[in-house]
Structures are given as C-alpha cells and as structure tokens.
Amino acid sequence: MINKRKFIAVIGGSRCSSQEAKLAEEVGRELARHGVALVCGGLGGVMEAVCKGCQSEGGLTIGILPGDNRQTANPYVQIPIVTGIGYARNIAVVKSAQAVIAVGGSYGTLSEIAHASQGGIPVIGLNTWSLARNDQPDNSIIPAQSPAEAVDIALSLATD
C-alpha cells in the first residue's frame, strides 16, 4: 500500500468513569498530534471521549458500529462504518489497527484484548484487565502509566 498512515484502536466501555474519560480524551489528543488515525467502536463512554480528544487536535476518527444505523455513532466520529453484526464488530475494531490501547473496560473490552492478542496485535493497557493462565501471569497486555506513554508504546509497536 502507498498508504503510510498508522491506525491505532482505542477500546473501553460504552459507560466509563470520569477518570477513564479523561485518560481516553488525552489518548485521542496524543494520537492526533502524531498523525495517527483512530479506530474505535464508535459509541459512547471511552469511545466518545477518545474521538472527542482526537478530533479536537484535528485527527481522523473511525467508528466501527455494531448496529444497522449510522445515527448511533457518537458526534465525533468522522468515518462511521455500519456493520450490522453486533459484538462481532469487536474483531474488526482491533484487526483494523496496528496496535490497541485499552482504557478500563468490561467484558466487551476483554473480548477485544483477546481477539487482538490472538491476531498478534500488541495491546497496551491503562487501568484495565490483567490476565493469568493456569495460574501463570500472561503478559500480553503491556501496562502504561499515562496516555502519552501508551501512545508512545503503541507507535513503537505498530509496525504491521
């Protein structure tokens, strides 16, 4: 591909705490400052906060929606993708990205972490899940201490 733009997904709950929203919005601003396109699930909560931050710095926001209607996208989504496949769109969210940043999140977010790890796509975490398998820690989620660090790690690993 001629296209050299990087695509990074940000995942998290459609409802979130105000602290998670602040983290997500700052992640969005950082992505825009680095010229990265944002991919997300297109709805509220963390998805809306990260789109808001990204758009405020002139970034490109892509929302991959579960339902049949573009009107369900949050107001900061510039490219709504309408899939009609419900939670199966979680797979498209992470597979469309070269790295994934998780902010908080519940079981939907966990499914996205799992699908990304299954596909060899790096996952960086901010206050999110941690995993162990057969009582051994699994290190597939790389912890970050701040939005800026999360974006730095994501960019360094987004090699496709």
Q: Does 127 bind a second copy (CB under 8 A)?
A: yes
Reported for 124-131, long-range contacts at CB under 8 A and 24+ positions apart, including other chains, are 124/99, 124/100, 124/150, 124/153, 124/154, 124/157, 125/101, 125/150, 126/23, 126/27, 126/101, 126/102, 126/150, 127/19, 127/20, 127/23, 127/103, 128/12, 128/102, 128/103, 128/104, 129/102, 129/105
Residues between 63 and 82 with contacts to a second copy, criterion CB under 8 A: 64, 68, 70-71, 73, 75-82
Q: Does 15 bind a second copy (CB under 8 A)?
A: no
Q: Does 119 bind a second copy (CB under 8 A)?
A: yes
Binding site for a second copy (CB under 8 A): 1-3, 5, 7, 37, 62, 64, 68, 70-71, 73, 75-88, 91-92, 95-96, 104, 106-108, 110-111, 113-115, 117-119, 127-135, 138, 140, 160
